[in-house]
Structure 1
Amino acid sequence: MDNFIEGSWLHSIGMAHHQATLAAAMKAAKENQINIAMFVFFIVLAVRQFISRTAAAKKAGANQQYLEAPGFPEIEPLEKSSWQEQEPLKLRFFKPKYFLTMDFDESAIQNLNPSELILMDKTYADRIGYRKRIMKESPGIAIGVNDDKRIGPAVRELYTYLLGTYLPKMYPDMFKLHYASFETGSQFMMENVVTKAVYPTATSERSDTRILLRTLGAVIDEDFLFLLPEEESEDPKYILEAYVCICPSGWSPPEKLGKRLATIHEPVPGYKDKLEGSMDRYFKGLEVGKYVKRSNWSITQHAELFLPDVNTNHGKEDDVVEELESIDPEKIFLRCERQTLHRLPKSGAVVFAFKTYLDSLKDVKEEGLGDELADAIDGLKTGNVPSINIYKRGPVWGTAAKKYLRS
């Protein structure tokens, strides 16, 4: 009997253990089913999100190489060439007499193909490094904003056009667009292939105008000045509202901020009599879609591009002059600016931009243009504004430079 009871008890225990094991196995199987179901659910959700984002990206144009820019003129990519093989532009518009004028000719104003607004060459990487250094060391001089509320929309407009449309379309080997997703949303980013930096192409009213200007200065080897007409004026004049300027030559950008064109050019001999009226009319009448360019030249004793000191490169009638007896042709430079002008389609702001080039007098002479430049130096004193010779400091370097160039 005892054996029977013991056997029954043991049998009961075995059955209970078996049932418990079976229940645990069933519970584990059920949990596995739930885990598998959840895994499948998240996989399906991820796939749906991927499909949705891909569709949204395609709708947004993620497969495009550049963004559409309504209001801006159509541009055609230049002939394919590597920026690393492109020589810097040579501006050599020397004339035997200097005339301060707005006439359309090779040394004054010319129509500009919008596709040629920005030019790239093999100096790009070094020059961008230089620009970044200047903006870091002298941010209060290199970047300026007068009335942020007025000019902010114009800076944002040019910024998005250049980073989202112009650069990736004209120079796809240097700038590429990427469609990126963030917690705050998705947008196009512009990659600078040369510097490895990435920047957003989109802006908003909360975008810091100074940061946008700094980005333009760090991406493009070009200085940009934004001008708008005065408010509440019967005869509004254009004033400088914002800029990023790394290559001023003998003028201080902060001192020009918020000033009229006439005040900005006050030190230039002959401006008031020869150019002020026509310049104001030209800015007022400049149509959207019309791009123009001009160039100028001067001689400088400085290899530095950043020269905001007002006493550098420019002279005045009462200056005490110490004439150079001779020059080192590798340390005296021809400094030229390629200047462009156009109006933005939405904000209506006028954008004045320029790129600065430096070539030693030795380079100019080796090009076979020594006599032409020497004649042009003589011509500073024989044109319609003879005092321009003093303004350009001709009495300092003129005789020695001409002697070398004609030797």
Structure 2
Amino acid sequence: MSRFDSLEKPSFTWHWRSLDDFKKTSWFTLGNYSNVILLIVFLLLAFNQIRRKQNEAKKAGFEKRYLKAPEFPEVEELPDFDWRTTEPLQLRPFKPKYHLTMALENLSPSELLLMDKNYADRIAYRRKIMAEEGEHVVAVNEDYRVRPAVVELYQYLMGTYLPLRFPSMFKLHEAFYEAGQTFMLENLVTKALFPAKASPSTPTAMLLETLGRTIDEDFLFLLPEEDEDPSPDNKDKDYVPDAKYILEAYVCCCPSGFDPREKLGKRLASIHEPVPGYPAKIEASMDRFFSRLEVGKYVRRANWSITTNKNLYSAGKGTNHAHEGDDVSELEEIDTENTFLRCERQTLHRLPKTKALVFAFKTYMYPIKDVKDEGKGRELAEAIDGLKEGSVPQMHFYKRGVVWGEAVKRYLRS
């Protein structure tokens, strides 16, 4: 035996076994990688599906926050609006000379209603006035004609506009009763809860009262005279050409110098009969504008007067207006605590379905001292003189300038 025979022969068994093990290990690792990749893909798909469902749920939840009203213009949401810190609108519409005109401006549909820090107090006041004054602040004339219009505005404001525009103040709730699905609007300020949709059994006057308990705004509904309803040829038009409009319903808690009950069922011309210069200066143009106002167009204007009381509800003669033959006496001086610049922010628009006109206004009371302190005292004093120098000099007497005019001007110029 050679010396080589005594040496252990090299064995390749280990190497082949190791190669097999390496292959097995490699396939196992690749399998793990594949499983990991599949798991990642699955997780990504699952995550995307969850996110998609969350987005759908969020969208569905958002849409349930208000009732869709595609026939009305779009409304911009104010998600961060805080009514408690929002100052009232500062209106200063007086000018050196008073001219009786409509003085209309276009209004964004989103700004149809305004809210401010006086909201809670104003709503409490409105509830009190409605309880005390009855049909002098809430009334309906021809119910069968005006009810569809009241329902249309009610459901839009309670179901769509308020919860969409002011979500920090109003919240819509979906509910189910024996009669089926319904929606309730929760007033987050007053904690009141009212239906967002009008039940057929709910009286029209009650719908108006609910609006008055929810919104610091007065609403007056006007319809064309019955014999001027659209003919078949005009059924698709937004208005009846040259129609005479009638006051058919209202919730009016802040009348200034008039009793709304006395105006119910009357034409615009009769409603404004006491206003000096109205027939000659503005009646024709106002009738024409009212009859031709198109759906989707919103307008606004503002007026002003001086009052020597703080009553928002000032109905009837002898309050904020004077008429020919009235016994009036001039004030020697004014009580600055009870003297106000009273302004109305007035709006007008046509409802898309019923084509009724909705005239609305919000009343602002600015202490006369505030006007003076802000540096507009002499400007207002000039405007008081300007009541007698404009297109209708009688406006000075009508606004009771003969009572408070000289005393207010002395204060403002002092």
Say yes or no: TM over 0.5. Answer: yes
Letter aligned with residue 185 of structure 2? M
CA–CA distance in structure 1, aligned partners of residues 61 and 287 of structure 2? 41
Partner of 2:404: 397
Q: Which of 130, 143, 150 matches 2:145? A: 150
Contact 1:62 1:178 in 2 (8 A): no
C-alpha separation between the residues in 2 aligned to 1:260 and 1:317?
Answer: 22
Q: CA 1:146/1:313 → structure 2, altered by over 3 Å: closer, same or farther? A: same
Cα distance, 1:173–1:77 mapped onto 2, change above 3 Å: same
Alignment of 1:304-315 (within 5 A): 304-315=311-322
Query: Matches of 1:267 and 1:381 in 2, distance apart?
Result: 17
Amino acid at match of 2:215: I
Structure 2: 5+ residue runs without aligned partners?
1-56, 229-240
1:139 alignment counterpart:
134
Partner of 2:170: 175
Q: Which runs of 5+ in 1 are unaligned?
A: 1-56, 103-107
For residue 206 of structure 1, give the secondary structure of its aligned residue in structure 2.
Answer: coil
Aligned-pair CA distance for 1:70: 2.0
Letter in 2 for 1:143: V
Q: Distance in 1 between matches of 2:214 and 2:370?
A: 28
1:252 to 240, 254, 259: 259
Structure 1 residue 205 displacement after superposition: 3.7
Q: Partner of 1:228 in structure 2?
A: 223
Alpha-carbon distance in structure 2 between the residues aligned to 1:141 and 1:81? 34
Which runs of structure 2 are paired with 1:12-27 in the superposition (5 Å)? none
8 A contact 2:81–2:166 mirrored in 1: no
Deviation per CA, 1:360-400, whole angstroms, max 9, x where unpaired? 11111011110110010010000000000000000110001
More deviation, 307-316/217-226: 307-316
**Residue of structure 2 equivalent to 1:208:** 203
| Residue 207 of structure 1: how far off its partner (Å) | 2.9
Q: Which residue of 2 aligns with 1:193?
A: 188
Is the 8 Å Cα contact of residues 310 and 338 (structure 2) preserved in structure 1?
yes
Residue 65 (1) aligns with residue 78 (2):
no
Q: Which residue in 1 is equivalent to 2:88?
A: 88
Partners of 1:69 and 1:130 in 2: how far apart? 31
2:346 paired with 1:351: no
2:394 is the alignment partner of 1:380:
no
CA distance in 2, matches of 1:79, 1:184: 33
- 1:58: Cα distance to partner? 11
Q: Higher Cα Rg: structure 1 or 2?
A: 2
Tell me what 1:127 maps to.
122
1:75 corresponds to which letter in structure 2? Answer: V
Distance between the aligned counterparts of 1:62 and 1:205, measured in 2?
28
d(CA) in 1 for partners of 2:180, 2:410: 65
Contact 1:78-1:115 at 8 Å conserved across structures: no
CA distance in 2, matches of 1:398, 1:58: 59
Structure 2 residue aligned with 1:115, among 110, 113, 116?
Answer: 110
Q: CA deviation at 1:188?
A: 1.3
Q: CA deviation digits over 1:282-326, x for unaligned, max 9?
A: 001100000000000000111010111222111123333311111
RMSD: 1.8
Residue 24 of structure 1 corresponds to which residue in structure 2? Answer: none
Aligned to 1:47: none
Distance 1:381 1:227 in 2: 32
For 1:317 and 1:172, the matched residues in 2 are separated by 49
Q: Name the CA distance, whole Å, in 2 between partners of 1:259 and 1:142.
A: 16
* SS of alignment partner, residue 227 of structure 1: strand
Partners of 2:210 and 2:199 lie apart in 1 by 15
The reply on whether 1:165 has 2:160 as its aligned counterpart is yes
Matched, 1:282 2:289: yes
TM-score, structure 1 as length reference: 0.82
The C-alpha deviation readout for 1:10-34, integer Å capped at 9, x for no partner, is: xxxxxxxxxxxxxxxxxxxxxxxxx
1:367 aligned counterpart, secondary structure:
helix
Superposition deviation, residue 75 in structure 1:
1.3
CA distance change for structure 1 residues 59 and 76 in 2, over 3 Å: closer, same or farther? Answer: closer
Match of 2:274 among 263, 267, 278: 267
What's the secondary structure of 1:87's corresponding residue? coil
Give me the TM-score of the superposition, normalised by structure 2. Answer: 0.81
Q: Do 1:370 and 1:406's aligned partners in 2 also have CA atoms closer than 8 Å? A: yes
Q: Distance in 2 between matches of 1:275 and 1:58?
A: 51
The match for 1:39 is none
Alpha-carbon distance, 1:63 to partner: 5.7
Count of residues in correspondence between the two structures: 346
